[in-house]
Structure formats: C-alpha cells, structure tokens
Amino acid sequence: MIDNLKFNEQGLIPAIAQDDDTGEVLMLGYMNEEALRRTLSSGEVWFYSRSRQELWYKGETSGNRIIVRSVWKDCDSDTILVKARPTGPVCHTGNKTCFFQQLTKQDVETSHQKEN
Amino acid sequence: MIDNLKFNEQGLIPAIAQDDDTGEVLMLGYMNEEALRRTLSSGEVWFYSRSRQELWYKGETSGNRIIVRSVWKDCDSDTILVKARPTGPVCHTGNKTCFFQQLTKQDVETSHQKEN
C-alpha cells in the first residue's frame, strides 16, 4: 500500500490530522516516506518540515503530540488522513486547531475593490 | 484576507472539504485564486484540476456538488478548509468520502520486507 502512494516532486504527501473524537480538522502537514513509516510504526504523528527541511516529530518542542487512531489514503493515493487524539493544542498559536480564521464572501469583494 | 493567502509555486492552495454535519473528511482538492473566489461568491465548491489544468466546478459532470457552509484558512495561510454539505457521494468511485482505504503498521512492514 505504502509503495503505491504518490509523493510529489519534493517527495512529500499532504497529511490531514483530524481529531477522531470531535471530528475537528486540526492541521495539514506534509510527510515524506520516512515520516509516514514512523507515524505508522510508532503510533504518533511525524511530519516533514518544509521550512526546516527535516523530519518533525509533532510535539517534540511543544509537548503537544498527536496520537494515531487510524491512517487512511485517498482514492488516488496522493493524500493522507490521520484520525487521531491530540494531547494538547495542535496549533503553534495555542489554538486547538490551525483553522480558526474564517474567510467570507466579503473577503472576495474587498479584494476585488482593491484591484479597481 | 484572500490577498494574504500563500498559493504554491503552481498558484495553488490545498483545500480540504469536510462534511459539516457528520465531521467526515471528504476529499482534498486544490484551488487557484479564481476557484477560491468562485467558491466564496457562489457558495458551491470550485477546484482547479491539476490533471486537466482547468477550473473544476465540483459536480459539473457527476451532479454531486458540495454546498459551502463556511470557509477557513489555517494559521500560516497555506491551507483552506471548507465545511460543507455534499449533495451526493464526493468520490468518483461512488464512495461518500475519498478516504476509504486504511493504511496500517503491516503496510510498512510489508514494504520493508520487499526491500530485503
């Protein structure tokens, strides 16, 4: 299964972390093959940090780890979904989820106005 | 808000579609700026098809559209989350979600064995 995954030209695959108890989408990170192997083997989430260009054990610094419940791939094998239990806030801002800023129709209209 | 989004080198941003009623993660697609504008303006999900290299009104062919409830960006503005109501199965396979294939620890071990 893991051999058939489609990693992108940087050798990465996007991985969605979801709170398995609440259904909340927590964050999107990127995994290389080694990060995925470690995630599956250890039962805790590993990513590959694109900014630091290194393997990233989620929670290594913050202590807020993500405990794996199940790992899924999508129909065309180019996205991973990890259903999990976070041990604390996932976001570096202290928010439970990284998705706490809403976009609305007004954001498009404001954008358009700026262009005129 | 939309102006501050970080589109990648191909001008795309990953967008997660989630069933707002069940919490189920349905699919990950990619949006360019125009797809995001149309999604916010119309209240239905548009993506940019990387394979066809064109704007993609989700459900145009299948009739299975995704009706927007709310749109979110993540803390570093490089991922979109759309909470939505799908009008039918989202996946081209007929599954409700594209994430219907599980990966397990055995997949890693099998992979390793093949290498030896």
Among the residue ranges A2-6, A101-105, B51-55, B71-75, the one predicted with the least confidence is: A2-6
Rounded mean pLDDT of B2-20? 95
Answer yes or no: do B23 and A28 touch at CB < 8 A.
Answer: no
Nearest to A29 by CA among A82, A87, A73: A82
C-alpha A38/C-alpha A46 separation (Å) is 6
pLDDT value at position A40?
97
Residues in chain B: 116
Per residue in A45-74, pLDDT tens? 999 999 999 999 999 999 999 999 999 999
Per residue in B21-79, pLDDT tens? 999 999 999 999 999 999 999 999 999 999 999 999 999 999 999 999 999 999 999 99
Nearest CA in chain B to A3: B111
Cβ atoms of A25 and B81 closer than 8 Å: yes
Answer yes or no: do A70 and B111 touch at CB < 8 A.
Answer: no
ipTM: 0.94
Angle at A26 between CA B91 and CA B60, to 5 degrees: 25
pLDDT value at position A116?
44
Q: How confident is the model at residue B6 (pLDDT cuts 50, 70, 90)?
A: very high
pTM value is 0.94
B70 in contact with chain A, both atoms CB, cutoff 8 A: yes
pLDDT value at position A66?
98
A54 in contact with chain B, both atoms CB, cutoff 8 A: no
Residue B99: partners with Cβ closer than 8 Å, 6 or more residues away: A72, A73, A74, A79, A81, B25, B26, B27
pLDDT value at position A114?
52
**Phi, psi angles (nearest 5°) of residue A12:** -120, 155
- CA dist A82 to A14, A105, B83, B88, Å? 11, 30, 18, 24
What is the crossing angle of helices A105-115 and B33-42, to 10°? 130
Closest to A40 (Cβ–Cβ): which among B1, B98, B104? B104
pLDDT value at position B113?
55
Give start and end residues of each alpha helix (H) in A1-116.
33-42, 105-115
As to burial, measured by CB atoms within 10 angstroms (0-12 exposed, 13-18 middle, 19+ buried), residue A6 is exposed
Rounded mean pLDDT of B76-93? 97
Q: Name the residue with tokens 């498009």.
A: A108
Q: How confident is the model at residue B110 (pLDDT cuts 50, 70, 90)?
A: low
Cβ atoms of A58 and A46 closer than 8 Å: yes
From chain A, the residues in CB contact with B29 under 8 A are none
From chain A, the residues in CB contact with B44 under 8 A are none
B105 in contact with chain A, both atoms CB, cutoff 8 A: yes
C-alpha B38/C-alpha B47 separation (Å) is 9
Biggest CA–CA distance in chain A, Å, is 54
Cβ atoms of A104 and B73 closer than 8 Å: no
